[in-house]
C-alpha cells in the first residue's frame, strides 16, 4: 500500500469544519463539501440532508479525474476549477493543493463571482490545514505512535463479524 | 489509499473490480447491492452506455459494521473492461486499497483475461503499486456456462502465485460474497500492518 493514506484528526477536522461553515454562510450556498481525490467525503456544511453526499463525492472525484486526464492529454497540468451551470442549481468544483476537492452547490441566492472570491480565500486556509495534517501524520508515524492505533489489535474475529 | 477519520471514527477503503469486457464485474456489484441490507449500502451508481456496458465506473458504498469503534466502509468500484477505455481504467485505480480480478471462465475468453491482467499490472505499476504487494483476489466467473476452462488451467495462466481464488456465478450469486470478503479481509489486515 502506498504510504500516503489520509488520516484525519479531531483537531484539524474542527478547523476544516469551521472553514466550511464560514464558506457556506458567506457564499449563501446550498451545500459545500470537501472530497478527497479518490472520492471519499471528508466534510460538508449546509443542506446536506436531501443530497446523497456519498454518491456526489464519488462522481465529483470521477469528474476531476476525467478532466485531469484530458488536461494531461492537452499538455496542461490540471484544470483547477470546473463549473457546471444548471437551470436552478450550479456547481463549482475546485482543486485544493494536489489532493483535495472543494465543491460548492449554489442557486440564484448566490453568484458565481461571490463563490469564486470566497473559494479562493478559503483555499489558502484549507491548504494550510491539510499541510499540517500531513506533517502531523508523518510525525506520528516516525514517533511510533502507531502502536496506540485502534487497528493494531484487529482480530480475525473482528473482520469475520463484519460479514455476518 | 484508505482514509482514516479519527474525528468521525470512520475508515474508508477502496476496492476495484478489474477484468476484461463482459466478464461480470458490474454483475458482481449488482448482486452485492441486491443482497445487502438497506442500512448498509448507498446507491449503486453506474455510468454506462445505452447497451449497459460500463463507460466510466460503477460505484457502490458499503458500511458493513464496526471494528474497535470505527465504522468500516468499503467503496466498491468497477472499471470499464472494453479495451478502448484504457484511460478511464487508469483513473479508477488511483488510490486503490484492494483489487479483485474477475476472469471470464469461457475458454474463448482466456486471451482477453490474460491481456486484462497484463493491463492491470502495467496500470498499477504506473502509479507505483505492485500487484504482488497489494490485497488481491481472483475470481473465476461464469462457472455455470458449458464451455468453461478447468480451474487448474486458469490458475496456471492467471494465478501463478496461487493467491486465493474463487469460482463464481455472479448472476445468481455463488462466490460473489466469498470474493468480496476475502479481499476486504486482506485490506484490513494490511491496514493493521500500517496503523
Ligand atoms: N451465464 C453467466 N452470465 C454472466 C455471469 N456474470 C455475468 N454474466 C453476464 O455477462 C454479461 C456482462 O456482464 P457485466 O457484469 O455487464 O460485465 P462487465 O465485466 O461489467 O463488462 P464491462 O462493463 O463491459 O467491462 C451480462 O449479460 C451478465 O448477465 C455468470 O456468472 N454467468
Ligand atoms: Mg461493467
pLDDT digits (tens, 9 = 90+) for B68-79: 888 999 999 999
User: What is the CATH number for B64?
Assistant: 3.40.50.300
Neighbours of B156 (CB within 10 A): 12
Quote the domain boundaries for residue B150.
3-194
For residue A5, what are the contacts with CB-CB under 8 A and spacing of at least 6?
Answer: B1, B2, B3, B4, B194, B195
For residue A106, what are the contacts with CB-CB under 8 A and spacing of at least 6?
Answer: A27, A28, A29, A30, A89, A90, A92, A115
A44 DSSP β-pair partners: A33
pLDDT at B90 over 50: yes
Its pTM stands at: 0.90
Q: Atom 25 (ligand 1): residue with closest C-alpha?
A: B81
**B91 vs A62: CB contact, 8 Å cut-off?**
yes
Residue of A nearest to B69 (CA): A150
In this prediction, residues B44-72 reach a mean pLDDT of 90
In this prediction, residues B41-54 reach a mean pLDDT of 90
Q: Does the CB of A4 have a partner CB in chain B at under 8 Å? A: yes
- Any ligand 1 atom below 6 A from CB of B46: no
Residue A154: inside a domain: no
pLDDT at A111 over 70: yes
User: What is the CATH number for A41?
Assistant: 3.30.450.30
pLDDT at B195 over 70: no
For residue B41, name the pLDDT band (cuts at 50, 70, 90). Answer: very high
Residue of A nearest to B93 (CA): A38
Quote the domain boundaries for residue A39.
10-147
Neighbours of A99 (CB within 10 A): 16
Residue A162: inside a domain: no
- Any ligand 1 atom below 6 A from CB of B25: yes
- Euclidean distance between CA atoms A133 and A6, whole angstroms: 9
pLDDT at A147 over 60: no
pLDDT at A148 over 70: no
Give yes or no for a contact between A5 and B4, defined as CB atoms under 8 angstroms apart. yes
3-state secondary structure chain A: CCCCCEEECHHHHHHHHHHHHHHHHHHCCCEEEEEECCCCEEEEEECCCCCCHHHHHHHHHHHHHHHHHHHHHHCCCCCCEEEEECCCCEEEEEEECCCEEEEEEECCCCCHHHHHHHHHHHHHHHHHHHHHHHHHHHHHHHCCHHHHCCCCCCCHHHHHHHCC
Report how far ligand 1's centroid is from the alpha carbon of A12 (Å): 44
- Residue B108 C-alpha, separation from nearest chain A C-alpha, in angstroms: 32
Residue A73: inside a domain: yes
Report how far ligand 2's centroid is from the alpha carbon of B26 (Å): 4
- Euclidean distance between CA atoms B17 and B20, whole angstroms: 10
Q: At B44, phi and psi to the nearest 5?
A: -90, 115
- Euclidean distance between CA atoms B116 and B87, whole angstroms: 13
A64-75 pLDDT tens trace: 989 988 898 899
- Euclidean distance between CA atoms A4 and A36, whole angstroms: 12
- Residue A20 C-alpha, separation from nearest chain B C-alpha, in angstroms: 16
Q: Give the per-residue pLDDT at B7.
A: 80
In this prediction, residues B164-188 reach a mean pLDDT of 95
pLDDT at A150 over 70: no
pLDDT at B185 over 70: yes
For residue A118, name the pLDDT band (cuts at 50, 70, 90). Answer: very high
The C-alpha angle with vertex B78 and arms to A37 and B114, in degrees rounded to 5, equals 120
CB < 8 Å to B2, chain A: 1, 5-6
Cα atoms found within 13 Å of the Cα of residue B37, Cβ hemisphere only: 8
- Residue B105 C-alpha, separation from nearest chain A C-alpha, in angstroms: 27
Residue A157: inside a domain: no
The total number of structural domains in chain A stands at 1
- Residue A114 C-alpha, separation from nearest chain B C-alpha, in angstroms: 31
Residue A3: inside a domain: no
Residue A160: inside a domain: no
For residue A145, name the pLDDT band (cuts at 50, 70, 90). Answer: low
For residue B156, what are the contacts with CB-CB under 8 A and spacing of at least 6?
Answer: none
Lowest mean pLDDT among B31-35, B64-68, B72-76: B64-68
B129-166 pLDDT tens trace: 999 999 999 999 999 999 999 999 999 999 988 998 99
Report how far ligand 2's centroid is from the alpha carbon of B27 (Å): 7
CB < 8 Å to A146, chain B: 194-195
Q: Does the CB of B161 have a partner CB in chain A at under 8 Å? A: no
Helix (H) or strand (E) holding B90: helix B86-93
pLDDT at A136 over 80: yes
Q: Which has the higher per-residue pLDDT, B4 or B98? A: B98
Percent of chain B scoring above 90 in pLDDT: 78
Q: Give the per-residue pLDDT at A2.
A: 40
Residue A156: inside a domain: no
Q: Give the per-residue pLDDT at B68.
A: 82
Report how far ligand 1's centroid is from the alpha carbon of B98 (Å): 21
Residue of A nearest to B191 (CA): A151
Q: Which has the higher per-residue pLDDT, B191 or A30? A: A30
Residue A43: inside a domain: yes
- Any ligand 1 atom below 6 A from CB of B186: no
The total number of structural domains in chain B stands at 1
Which residues place a Cβ less than 5 A from the ion ligand 2?
B 25-26, 54
Q: At B67, phi and psi to the nearest 5?
A: -130, 125
pLDDT at A155 over 80: no
Q: Give the per-residue pLDDT at B179.
A: 96
Amino acid at each position: 500500500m502506498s504510504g500516503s493514506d489520509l488520516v484525519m484528526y479531531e483537531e484539524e477536522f474542527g478547523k476544516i469544519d469551521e472553514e466550511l461553515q464560514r464558506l457556506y454562510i458567506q457564499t449563501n450556498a446550498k451545500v459545500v463539501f470537501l472530497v478527497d481525490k479518490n472520492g471519499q467525503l471528508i466534510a460538508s456544511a449546509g443542506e446536506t440532508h436531501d443530497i446523497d453526499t456519498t454518491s456526489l463525492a464519488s462522481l465529483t472525484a470521477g469528474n476531476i479525474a476525467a478532466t485531469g486526464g484530458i488536461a494531461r492529454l492537452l499538455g496542461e497540468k490540471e484544470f483547477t476549477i470546473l463549473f457546471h451551470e444548471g437551470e436552478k442549481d450550479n456547481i463549482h468544483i475546485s482543486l485544493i493543493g494536489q489532493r483535495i476537492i472543494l465543491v460548492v452547490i449554489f442557486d440564484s441566492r448566490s453568484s458565481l463571482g461571490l463563490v469564486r472570491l470566497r473559494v479562493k480565500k478559503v483555499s489558502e486556509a484549507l491548504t494550510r490545514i491539510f499541510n499540517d495534517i500531513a506533517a502531523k501524520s508523518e510525525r506520528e508515524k516516525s514517533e511510533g505512535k502507531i502502536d496506540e492505533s485502534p487497528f493494531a489489535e484487529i482480530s480475525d474475529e473482528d473482520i469475520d463479524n463484519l460479514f455476518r | 489509499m484508505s482514509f482514516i477519520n479519527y474525528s468521525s471514527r470512520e475508515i474508508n477503503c477502496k476496492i476495484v473490480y478489474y477484468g476484461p469486457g463482459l466478464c461480470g464485474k458490474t454483475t458482481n456489484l449488482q448482486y452485492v447491492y441486491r443482497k445487502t441490507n438497506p442500512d448498509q449500502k448507498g446507491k449503486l451508481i453506474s455510468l454506462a452506455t445505452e447497451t449497459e456496458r460500463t463507460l466510466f465506473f460503477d460505484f457502490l458504498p458499503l458500511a458493513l459494521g464496526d471494528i474497535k469503534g470505527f465504522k468500516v466502509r468499503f467503496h466498491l468500484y468497477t472499471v470499464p473492461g472494453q479495451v478502448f477505455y484504457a484511460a478511464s481504467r487508469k483513473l479508477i485505480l488511483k488510490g486503490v486499497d484492494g483489487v479483485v480480478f474477475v476472469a471470464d471462465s469461457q475458454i474463448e475468453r482466456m486471451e482477453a483475461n490474460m491481456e486484462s491482467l497484463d493491463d492491470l499490472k502495467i496500470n498499477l505499476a504506473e502509479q507505483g503499486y505492485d500487484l504482488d504487494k497489494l490485497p488481491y483476489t481472483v475470481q473465476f466467473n461464469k462457472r455455470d456456462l458449458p464451455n468453461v476452462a478447468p480451474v487448474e488451467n486458469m490458475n496456471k495462466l492467471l494465478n501463478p502465485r496461487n493467491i486465493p481464488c474463487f469460482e463464481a456465478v455472479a448472476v445468481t450469486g455463488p462466490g460473489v460474497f466469498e470474493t468480496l470478503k476475502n479481499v476486504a479481509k486482506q485490506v484490513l489486515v494490511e491496514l493493521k500492518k500500517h496503523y
